[in-house]
């Protein structure tokens, strides 16, 4: 998928923070992009299908270079939905997970985020049938990334700009420091991220909600 660089926003911001070095602006754009992706879950990516291996409980995410997984959106095994849980919830259900006992293997029903690079499955897959895992995940840029998915960044551009400016304008003892203006951008940042999170949750459909009366008998 096409990538858009964080530097592409620098020229739009430089007039709001006159005298600020461009590498500093780019750093704050990246930081804001990470925060926006975390709060909105708007950068979504469908992973390639993963063939599970008998007895293997942990697998690496397969995501674009420069990104990492922040949250699950959907997960299925052979077309059957599996439930995302926390590690604590998983150990309530399976106290000895990950058990090496072959008798405890079965078709996976739960998925857990172990870290930014790895996820786990429970029960651990058996060999009763081939298992194919499909996932849609929410991504965020790495701290070392130079850019992110163009479509996602285009959609989140305004929120990212407000997020960068709210931090740049409160840097102490700088020619461009302006705490009053920083408060304005902080409010805009909150409004933009809240709206984008709602849109990500509800989708882009614009049909109105209606209630239909049903007869009692």
Instruction: Tell me the pLDDT tens digit for each residue of 160-191.
Output: 999 999 999 999 999 999 999 999 999 999 99
How confident is residue 201, by pLDDT bands cut at 50, 70 and 90? confident
Instruction: Tell me the pLDDT tens digit for each residue of 36-61.
Output: 999 999 999 999 999 999 999 999 99
Whole-Å CA distances, 98 to 39, 79, 202? 31, 24, 36
Instruction: Tell me the pLDDT tens digit for each residue of 81-119.
Output: 999 999 999 999 999 999 888 988 999 999 999 998 999
40 close to 73: Cβ distance less than 8 angstroms: no
Q: Does residue 203 have a pLDDT over 70?
A: no
3-state secondary structure 20-82: CCHHHHHHHHHHHHHHHHHHHCCCEEECCCEECCCCCCEEECCCCCCEEEEEEEEEEECCEEC
């Amino acid at each position: 998928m096409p990538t858009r660089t964080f530097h592409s926003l620098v020229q739009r911001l430089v007039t709001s923070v006159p005298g600020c070095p461009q590498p500093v602006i780019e750093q704050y754009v990246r930081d804001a992009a990470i925060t926006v992706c975390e709060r909105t879950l708007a950068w979504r990516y469908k992973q390639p299908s993963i063939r599970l291996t008998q007895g293997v409980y942990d697998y690496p995410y397969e995501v674009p270079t420069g990104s990492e997984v922040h949250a699950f959106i959907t997960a299925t095994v052979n077309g059957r939905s599996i439930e995302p849980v926390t590690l604590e919830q998983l150990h309530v259900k399976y106290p000895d997970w990950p058990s090496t006992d072959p008798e405890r293997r079965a078709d996976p029903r739960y998925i857990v985020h172990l870290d930014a690079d790895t996820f786990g499955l429970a029960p651990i897959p058996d060999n009763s049938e081939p298992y194919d895992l499909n996932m849609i995940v929410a991504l965020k840029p790495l701290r070392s990334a130079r850019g992110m998915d163009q479509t996602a960044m285009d959609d989140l551009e305004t929120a990212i700009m407000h997020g960068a400016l709210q931090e740049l304008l409160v840097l102490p003892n700088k020619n461009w420091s302006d705490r009053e203006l920083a408060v304005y951008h902080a409010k805009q940042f909150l409004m933009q991220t809240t709206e984008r999170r709602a849109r990500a949750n509800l989708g882009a459909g614009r049909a109105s909600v209606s209630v239909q009366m049903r007869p009692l008998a």
